[in-house]
């Protein structure tokens, strides 16, 4: 018994002493919520870290530190030298890159995040038109910029028209065969952050930009819409009419024929929504027909145009190659890339207006 106790004590002392883990006490850290990277000439990057300074009276002030370096981890070390508490990146919510850097390729930055165990895969990535430092240094309301950006993007992804995107989805699109990644594109507009559109990547490099107006169509093709909204405009008898269609849900189905020879992709899109506002006189059965027609026309026109542009740039943000691959045995990537250029891609849209509000005006 005595031997056992002594043995146990010795073991526990050894383990406790040599098995120590580095302590990271919460209130002795600066916890970065956002990081921004700006292109500064050849192989040089200006990194900006945002961390909320939580004051004892529970208010939050937005603090930023930036430095220019060659590598992002080196930048972190240099920023640490400027800070009075160690900066930790374990709660990074948003990482932004400016457009110049994105066009140059963000492979290195993705890779270091990928290998860092303290970076979560729900980190949101975004591209900024202009300087990311400027966007991050500004404070918006009661939050620090990282939190603000994350909240802004997240609710727009859940119920808005921004396609869902985070680090995990970016990586899967990046490494998947037959798919190219996308990221939301932001811009600073006065005192607000605006969603400018979508940055489309070919591998690690941004090659194309999609404007905000096209996002509705893009998102319905890319994934499923959930309670989104869209504005329709029509000119009839020299009178412009506006529709506001809300609560739009969409579903898509792929049908691919001739997968082995010359794939023809048919996307069947089903969109349901309700009319919330109409600038014309009454909402009645004809209005519904009109709205359905308009929305159908808008989506089919925009999607055809969009896909043509994608084919021209040889990018595949919609993951059509992935759809083909999943239906093909011994799929050949090179062969597909050749085929994709001229592949026939049809979008068939079906629009149903399910309701017009609480009061049923139809008679």
Q: Which stretches of the chain bind another protein, using CB under 8 A?
A: 16, 19-21, 23-27, 29, 31, 33, 52, 54-58, 60, 88, 90-91, 93, 118, 120, 147
**33 vs 64, beta carbon nearer another protein:** 33
Work out whether strand 182-189 and strand 124-129 pair parallel, antiparallel, or are unpaired.
parallel
Minimum gap (Å) between residue 234 Cβ and another protein:
44
d(CA 136, CA 104): 21
Q: Of the candidates 44, 65, 41, 62, which has an alpha carbon nearest to the alpha carbon of residue 53?
A: 62
Tokens representing 139 are: 């404070």
d(CA 338, CA 328): 16
**23 vs 341, beta carbon nearer another protein:** 23
Q: Are 66 and 48 in contact (CB under 8 A)?
A: yes
* Sequence-ordered list of residues with C-beta below 8 angstroms from that of 237, at least 6 positions apart, any chain: none
d(CA 266, CA 16): 63
Place of tokens 């300087």: 131
**51 vs 222, beta carbon nearer another protein:** 51
Minimum gap (Å) between residue 124 Cβ and another protein:
13
Minimum gap (Å) between residue 8 Cβ and another protein:
11
Residue 5 burial (C-beta neighbours within 10 Å; 0-12, 13-18, 19+)? exposed
Minimum gap (Å) between residue 105 Cβ and another protein:
29
Minimum gap (Å) between residue 34 Cβ and another protein:
12
Q: Are 109 and 95 in contact (CB under 8 A)?
A: yes
Tokens representing 129 are: 């038109």
**56 vs 190, beta carbon nearer another protein:** 56
d(CA 117, CA 227): 35
Element (H, E) at 96: strand 94-98
**41 vs 117, beta carbon nearer another protein:** 117
Minimum gap (Å) between residue 52 Cβ and another protein:
7
129 pairs with which residues across the strands?
A: 187
Cβ of 245: how many Cβ atoms within 10 Å? 25
What is the four-CA torsion angle of 202, 207, 209, 215, rounded to 10 degrees? -10
Minimum gap (Å) between residue 154 Cβ and another protein:
11
Minimum gap (Å) between residue 149 Cβ and another protein:
12
**93 vs 316, beta carbon nearer another protein:** 93
**What's the count of helices (H) and strands (E) in the chain, helices before strands?**
11, 14
**59 vs 189, beta carbon nearer another protein:** 59
């Amino acid at each position: 018994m005595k031997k056992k106790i002594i043995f146990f004590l010795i073991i526990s002392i050894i383990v406790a002493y040599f098995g120590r883990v580095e302590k990271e006490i919460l209130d002795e850290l600066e916890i970065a919520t956002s990081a921004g990277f700006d292109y500064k000439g050849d192989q040089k990057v200006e990194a900006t870290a945002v961390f909320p300074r939580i004051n004892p009276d529970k208010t939050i002030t937005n603090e930023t530190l930036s430095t220019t370096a060659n590598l992002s981890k080196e930048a972190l070390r240099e920023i640490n030298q400027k800070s009075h508490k160690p900066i930790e990146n374990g709660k990074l919510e948003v990482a932004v890159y400016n457009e110049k850097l994105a066009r140059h390729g963000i492979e290195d930055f993705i890779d270091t995040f990928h290998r860092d165990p303290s970076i979560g895969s729900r980190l949101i990535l975004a591209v900024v038109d202009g300087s990311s430092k400027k966007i991050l240094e500004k404070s918006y309301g009661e939050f620090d910029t990282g939190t603000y950006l994350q909240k802004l993007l997240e609710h727009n992804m859940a119920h808005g028209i921004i396609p869902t995107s985070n680090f995990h989805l970016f990586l899967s699109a990046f490494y998947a065969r037959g798919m190219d990644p996308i990221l939301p594109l932001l811009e600073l507009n006065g005192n607000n952050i605006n969603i400018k559109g979508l940055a489309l990547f070919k591998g690690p490099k941004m090659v194309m930009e999609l404007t905000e107006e096209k996002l509705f169509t893009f998102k319905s093709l890319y994934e499923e819409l959930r309670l989104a909204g869209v504005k329709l405009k029509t000119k009839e008898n020299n009178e412009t009419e506006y529709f506001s269609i809300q609560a739009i849900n969409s579903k898509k189905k792929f049908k691919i024929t001739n997968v082995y020879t010359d794939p023809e992709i048919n996307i069947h899109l089903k969109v349901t929504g309700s009319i919330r506002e109409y600038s014309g006189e009454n909402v009645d059965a004809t209005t519904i027909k009109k709205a359905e027609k308009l929305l159908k026309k808008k989506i089919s026109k925009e999607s055809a145009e969009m896909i043509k542009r994608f084919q021209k740039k040889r990018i595949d943000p919609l993951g059509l190659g992935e759809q083909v691959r999943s239906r093909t045995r011994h799929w050949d990537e090179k062969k597909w890339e050749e085929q994709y250029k001229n592949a026939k891609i049809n979008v068939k849209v079906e629009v149903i207006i399910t309701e017009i509000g609480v009061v049923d005006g139809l008679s």
